[in-house]
Amino acid sequence: MTDSAAYDAELQLFIDGSWRSGEGHDAAPVINPATGETIAEVPLASTGDLDEALAAAERAWPEWRAMDVEKRAAILHGAAALLRERAQHIGALLTQEQGKPLPEAIGEVIGSAQMFDFFAEEAKRAYGRVLVRPTGQRSIVIPQPVGPTATFTPWNFPIYLLAKKVAAALAAGCTVISKPPEETPGCTGAMARALSDAGIPAGVFQLVHGVPDTVSRHLIGSPVIRKVSFTGSIPVGKHLMKLCADGLKRVTMELGGHAPVLVFDDCALDKTLDMVVPQKFRNAGQVCVAPTRFYVQQGIYDAFARGFAERTKALKVGNGLAEGTSMGPLANGRRVPAIASLVEDARAKGARVLAGGEKGDGGFFFQPTVLADVPLEAEAMNNEPFGPLALMAPFGTEDQAIEQANRLPYGLAAFAFTENGRRANRLGDAIEAGMVGINSFAISVADAPFGGVKESGFGSEGGTEGLQSYQVVKAIHQA
């Protein structure tokens, strides 16, 4: 447990360059999911706070967009350095609020620092182009920052998903108001503190905890906000898009997934199992790109299922702060009955439980669970489980596997394991997803685009495309 004074310092709103504590504000409890105990209260922004944040974002924008890009980049690099320096402190806050094992939490802080470093440099490559006409006229195409931006991010990777949006938007020259998830306010407050200590000018970056519906309606309803970026569930994404439609706000939507994993007879079986099991249960399966539907070719189906179950049973479930924990609790209480009901439904429809299947003791624990022979009509095969559930079913031919992979309205990540290079090329082309990992799970990196197709959303985060999502282009035609 972190020192309580240091923790309280992070539980504040950050508006117009100053920190606001709970005094005079409504508050929500913060719960440690490993124990179920309330560990703190987070102040919720009032509409007055939001109005002040909007006014500050508008005021700060002209100076921030006009700032020499080297200076802007130096502030972002400064924030990255502070995140690295404070990774242990921020990681411990994250584990205490969200549950993931400490090494994963520290890794998330380091990944967030990489985002700031990448976009600090990418800002310097915001090139335009010149079209030279035979008449002597020149058409000049320039990118410009879209303007004050509102971001809404979830509790599964509260720091990394926030950093992805904020680093890109700030690098592009936008001012940003962020609503992080209420479940994990201390670790996101600590990220805001890194930006503040790195010298971000007042109003350029602001953090407002609050009741999600109140904050999103208020910010999206304001003419100050020009762009909205959301990561979270599909129903909330659709709701926010409807709010955005009224003001024709630009949007980036990074929504849920239901990643298929196609495992072919010709894969390196043990190597594949050693990779997929830890990935399945990373962050207790609460990952939008988590491998979820394992379609395994008939020749290795039994061996794969057996090896998967053995490795799963060897995982150590517990408090993320304890040494050697491989999987922590679910992040909030409502997810435990949600997962239990998916398991029960699959079991009733004929699935075999090869490992786990029950909720754990104390806190919000659910056992890492492996289900084999899961029929298509099981609810978990159709709706994102977002928990520690591996679903398995056999397939015969490559075409059948591709058909299953593309069957659902989701299209975020997909994975395949094969040692056949030609097959790998065909799969990469045919699978409908924003990211395809072949013999690899390394699909979320600072320098490549990350985003979905179909109902998994649109717009990219990461890479050049991530910067472009906070820019508009202008063509200037000069005779």
In angstroms, give the least distance from the CB of 213 to ligand NAD.
4
Find the binding residues for ligand NAD in span 311-350 (CB under 6 A): 334
Q: Measure the CA angle with vertex 240, ends 239 and 242; round to 5°.
A: 70
The span of 192-200, 233-241, 394-402, 461-469 binding ligand NAD (CB under 6 A) equals 233-241
**How many chain residues interact with ligand NAD (CB under 6 A)?**
22
* CA–CA gap between residue 276 and residue 416 (Å, rounded): 11
> Which residues lie below 8 Å from residue 278, measured CB to CB, with a gap of 6+?
326
| 233 in contact with ligand NAD (CB under 6 A) | yes
> Which position among 111, 232, 434, 462 is part of the footprint of ligand NAD (CB under 6 A)?
232
Q: Work out the angle between the directed axes of helices 69-85 and 87-98 (0-180°, nearest 10).
A: 70
Find the binding residues for ligand NAD in span 237-266 (CB under 6 A): 239-240, 254-256
Q: Which tokens belong to 463?
A: 């890479």
Residue 343, number of CB atoms within 10 A of its CB: 24
Closest to ligand NAD by CB, 214 vs 439, is 214
Determine the 3-state secondary structure of 453 from DSSP. coil
| 379 in contact with ligand NAD (CB under 6 A) | no
In angstroms, give the least distance from the CB of 258 to ligand NAD.
9
Closest to ligand NAD by CB, 385 vs 463, is 385
Q: Which amino acid is at 396?
A: G
Interface mask toward ligand NAD for 155-174; x: CB under 6 A: xx------------------
In angstroms, give the least distance from the CB of 276 to ligand NAD.
20
> Which position among 14, 119, 152, 458 is part of the footprint of ligand NAD (CB under 6 A)?
152
Closest to ligand NAD by CB, 25 vs 258, is 258
- Residue pair 148/177 in contact (Cβ under 8 Å)? The answer is yes
Neighbour-count burial for 272-295, b at 16+ CB within 10 Å, e otherwise: bbebbbebbbbbbbbbbbbbbbbb
> Which position among 181, 291, 356, 466 is part of the footprint of ligand NAD (CB under 6 A)?
181
DSSP per-residue letters across 35-92: TTEEEEEEE---HHHHHHHHHHHHHHHHHHHHS-HHHHHHHHHHHHHHHHHTHHHHHH
Q: Which tokens belong to 396?
A: 């015969």
- Residue pair 54/73 in contact (Cβ under 8 Å)? The answer is no
Q: Which tokens belong to 442?
A: 């390394």
In angstroms, give the least distance from the CB of 7 to ligand NAD.
21
Q: Which residue out of 108, 183, 254, 461 is catalytically annotated?
A: 254
Q: Let me know if 373 is exposed, middle or buried by CB neighbors in 10 A (0-12, 13-18, 19+).
A: middle
| 386 in contact with ligand NAD (CB under 6 A) | yes
In angstroms, give the least distance from the CB of 363 to ligand NAD.
17
| 288 in contact with ligand NAD (CB under 6 A) | yes
Q: Measure the CA angle with vertex 377, ends 376 and 383; round to 5°.
A: 90
Strand partners, 296: 263, 394
| 461 in contact with ligand NAD (CB under 6 A) | no
Closest to ligand NAD by CB, 196 vs 216, is 216
In angstroms, give the least distance from the CB of 149 to ligand NAD.
14
| 236 in contact with ligand NAD (CB under 6 A) | yes
| 151 in contact with ligand NAD (CB under 6 A) | no
Closest to ligand NAD by CB, 46 vs 439, is 46
Interface mask toward ligand NAD for 421-460; x: CB under 6 A: ----------------------------------------
> Which position among 17, 212, 360, 449 is part of the footprint of ligand NAD (CB under 6 A)?
212
Based on the residue annotation, tell me whether 58 is a catalytic residue of this protein.
Answer: no
Based on the residue annotation, tell me whether 254 is a catalytic residue of this protein.
Answer: yes
- Residue pair 433/409 in contact (Cβ under 8 Å)? The answer is no
> Which position among 151, 206, 216, 444 is part of the footprint of ligand NAD (CB under 6 A)?
216
Residue 165, number of CB atoms within 10 A of its CB: 26
Q: Work out the angle between the directed axes of helices 160-172 and 69-85 (0-180°, nearest 10).
A: 160
- Residue pair 404/260 in contact (Cβ under 8 Å)? The answer is yes
In angstroms, give the least distance from the CB of 323 to ligand NAD.
28
Report CA-CA distances (Å) from 127 to 67, 100, 143, 387, 446. Answer: 16, 40, 7, 42, 19
Closest to ligand NAD by CB, 383 vs 406, is 383
| 402 in contact with ligand NAD (CB under 6 A) | no
* CA–CA gap between residue 454 and residue 456 (Å, rounded): 5
Q: Which residue out of 174, 182, 288, 461 is catalytically annotated?
A: 288
| 366 in contact with ligand NAD (CB under 6 A) | no
End-to-end CA distance of the chain: 66
Active-site residue list:
254, 288
Which residues of this protein are in contact with ligand NAD, per CB under 6 A? Answer: 152, 154-156, 181, 212-213, 216, 231-233, 235-236, 239-240, 254-256, 288, 334, 384, 386
